[in-house]
Amino acid sequence: MDFGRPNYKADRPMAKPEEMYQCQTTNCGYIYNPDKGDRKGKISKGTKFENLPDDWRCPVCGASKKAFKPLAGEGSVLGQNK
């Protein structure tokens, strides 16, 4: 059932885990998803993490981009748990 809502997922593939970044500060865990962007920080949907402004901050805890790691791939959150 589509309930009259457009199906945006069919228009483009979902972001891959290596395109999503997770904040590593204590008690945060916010995940930046380029499919969603950052409404609070006025970041448009589709903006890759590496294209965020250098002064962008986590909308939950205020951490800088340096506090984030990719969910998958080189230097990832999953890679450190092996």
pLDDT of residue 75: 83
> Mean pLDDT in the chain?
84
What predicted TM-score, i.e. pTM, was given to this entire model? 0.74
**Chain position carrying tokens 């008690």:** 27
All residue ranges of the chain with pLDDT < 70 are 1-12, 77-82
Give the distance from CA 3 to its chain's centroid. Answer: 28
Half-sphere exposure of 80 (CA within 13 A, CB side): 7
pLDDT of residue 11: 58
Counting every residue, how long is the chain?
82
**Whole-angstrom distance, CA of residue 13 vs CA of residue 10:** 7
Residue ranges of domains in the chain:
19-53
Which residues, other chains included, contact 56 with Cβ-Cβ below 8 Å and sequence gap of 6+? 38, 41, 43, 64, 65
pLDDT of residue 26: 81
